[in-house]
Amino acid sequence: MSVSDKTALVTGAGSKRGIGRATAHTLAAAGWNIAILDLDEASAKDAAHEIEEQHGVQAVGLGCDVTDEASVASALAALDGSVPPVGALVNNAGITSPTRFLEVTGEEWDRIFAVNVRGAYNITRRVAPGMAERDFGRIVFLASVSAERGGGVFGGVAYSAAKAAQLGFTRALARELGPHGVTVNAVAPGLIDTDITGGALEGERKTQLVAGIPVGRNGNVADVADLITYLCREETGYITGVTYDVNGGSHIH
């Protein structure tokens, strides 16, 4: 059994400067075939084309709204038979919100939970049974340091609560799927230079933020992608239910 006969599915990996696309590239370099689901179908296809060209693996990009069960079902049906079975799932699709709690509306609260929590449920619920049947699977959630320290960097209460929900999701699912050869872990990035943080990582604000990071720099997407790829290896079968911090020491607990 090797990763070359399996597919790694990464949600929300369309953005050129995002953690998702970097992770898809790193997984492909390790021999995984790749499936990318993104709300922006054109960017998903662009990422898949780029990965096929650079790594010589099978890659497919599909438009998918993870908050919509029908959209998820349709995307996964399109994958079935076109690429090898899904052996790894990276729940990367997410949205942030800096809105303060006293201003946040119910509609915004629900939207943050719909993408980060319900979206992860919709895709994991459909992919996990096949993993359990095949006695192999690697599931990784992209949480956030905000879930652990209570926001305070970019995310407000809604975002921190949704990312904390992912941590509980990770731990309970790890217990349930462990007997079936499926590991479930979470990665909690701190300050990473992506499109989401881009504008905030400039000038005095950047200086202030980096001053609180022991290693003396912000993180980059490769710092996170390398760790996710490690967690998806076949050899990493005795690590499950764990949250890995990738924050340069800015939050040590």
Q: How far apart are CA 108 and CA 157, in angstroms?
A: 11
Asked whether the beta carbons of 66 and 37 are under 8 A apart, the reply is yes
Active site residue 238: no
* Spatial CB neighbours of 19, under 8 Å, sequence gap ≥ 6: 92, 142, 189, 192, 194, 221, 224, 225
Which residue in the block uniquely carries the two structure tokens 């038979």? 81
Q: Which of 165, 159, 191, 13 is nearest to 89 (CA)?
A: 13
Instruction: Say which residues have a Cβ less than 8 Å from residue 58's Cβ, sequence separation at least 6.
Output: 7, 33, 34, 52, 83, 84
Q: Tell me the C-alpha to C-alpha distance, in Å, between residue 155 and each of 123, 134, 168, 228, 238.
A: 24, 38, 18, 22, 32
Catalytic residue among 121, 159, 230, 238: 159
Backbone Cα Rg of the chain:
17
Which residues carry out catalysis? 159
